[in-house]
Chain A
Amino acid sequence: MKILTGNDLKTGAVTWWDGQGWSLSVDDAVEVGDDADAILARESGAQRVNAAYAIDATRDAAGVRPAHIKERVRALGPTVRPDLTLKPADPAALNWVI
Chain B
Amino acid sequence: MYRYDQYDQAMVDARVAEFRDQAQRRIDGKITEDQFKPLRLMNGLYLQLHAYMLRVAVPYGTLSGAQMHMLGDIADKYDRGYGHFTTRQNIQYNWIKLEDAGDILADLASVEMHAIQTSGNCIRNISSDHYAGAAADELVDPRPYAELLRQWSSFHPEFSYLPRKFKIAVIASKRDRAAMRLHDIGIEIVRNADGEPGAAFYVGGGMGRTPMIGPLIRDFVPLDELVTYSEACLRVYNRYGRRDNKYKARIKILVHELGKDEYARQVDEEFAHLLSQNIEPPLAELERIKTYFADPAFKTGLPTDTDRLDPDFALWMDRNCHAHKQPGYISVTISLKPIGGIPGDASADQIRLMAALAKEYSFDECRVTHAQNIVFAHVEIGRLHELWQQLDAAGLGTPNLDRIDDIIACPGLDYCSLANARSIPVAQKISERFAVNGKSEVIGELKLKISGCINACGHHHAGHIGILGVDKKGLENYQLLLGGSEAEDTSLGKITGPGFDEAGIVDAVEKATDVYLAKRTEGERFLDTYRRIGMEPFKEALYG
- Which residues of A are in contact with B by a Cβ distance under 8 Å? 7, 9-14, 44, 47, 50-51, 67-70, 73-74, 77-81, 84
Contact = CB atoms under 8 A, between A and B. Distances in A.
A12 B413 contact: no
B80 A80 contact: no
Contacts of A13: 50-51
Q: How large is the interface on B (under 10, 10 to 19, 20 to 34, 35 or more residues)?
A: 20 to 34
Given A14-B49, A44-B33, 14 more contacts: A10-B98, A10-B99, A47-B29, A50-B33, A50-B47, A51-B47, A67-B474, A70-B419, A73-B413, A80-B342, A80-B422, A80-B425, A81-B342, A84-B80
A7 B422 contact: no
Nearest to B52: A12
Given A51-B47, A70-B413, A73-B413, A9 B98 contact: yes
B217 to A, nearest CB: 39
B2 interface: no
B413 A69 contact: yes
Interface string B18-37: 00000000110100010000
A13 B52 CA distance: 8
Contacts of B99: 10-11
A71 to B, nearest CB: 9
Describe B's contact surface by its main secondary structure: mixed
28 contacts: A7-B47, A7-B51, A7-B52, A9-B26, A9-B98, A10-B98, A11-B51, A11-B97, A11-B98, A13-B51, A14-B51, A47-B27, A47-B29, A50-B33, A51-B33, A51-B47, A67-B474, A69-B413, A70-B413, A70-B417, A73-B49, A73-B413, A78-B414, A78-B424, A79-B425, A80-B424, A80-B425, A80-B428
Interface in B90-108: 94-99
Nearest to A85: B50
B293 interface: no
B510 interface: no
Nearest to B415: A78
Interface in B412-450: 413-415, 417, 419, 422, 424-425, 428
A10 B414 contact: no
> Which of A68, A69, A70 has the most chain B CB atoms closer than 10 A to its own CB?
A70
B361 to A, nearest CB: 30
Given A9-B27, A12-B96, A73 B51 contact: no
Nearest to A50: B33
Contacts, number: 69
Given A73-B414, A78-B415, A79-B414, A14 B422 contact: no
B476 interface: yes
Contacts of A81: 342, 414
A81 B425 CA distance: 10
A44 B51 CA distance: 17
B428 A10 contact: no
Contacts of B97: 10-12
B50 A77 contact: yes
Interface in B459-476: 474-476
A74 B47 contact: no
Nearest to A84: B80
Contact of A68 (B50, B80, B98, B474): B474
Contacts of A51: 33, 47
B175 to A, nearest CB: 34
A14 B424 CA distance: 21
A51 to B, nearest CB: 6
Contacts of A12: 47, 50-52, 95-98
A70 B415 CA distance: 9
Given A7-B47, A69-B476, A80 B98 contact: no
Contacts of A47: 27, 29
> Which of B95, B413, B428 has the most chain A CB atoms closer than 10 A to its own CB?
B413
B544 to A, nearest CB: 28
Contacts of A44: 33
> Which of B80, B95, B422, B424 has the most chain A CB atoms closer than 10 A to its own CB?
B422
A12 to B, nearest CB: 4
Nearest to B417: A70
Nearest to B428: A80
Contacts of B47: 7, 12, 50-51
A9 B428 CA distance: 33
Contacts of B52: 7, 12
A40 to B, nearest CB: 12
Interface in B71-125: 80, 94-99
A9 B97 CA distance: 9
Given A10-B99, A47-B29, A79 B422 contact: yes
Nearest to A7: B47
Nearest to A76: B50
Nearest to B51: A12
A77 B49 CA distance: 8
Contacts of A78: 50, 94, 414-415, 424
Interface in B30-57: 33, 47, 49-52
A86 to B, nearest CB: 10
Contacts of B476: 69
Contacts of B475: 69
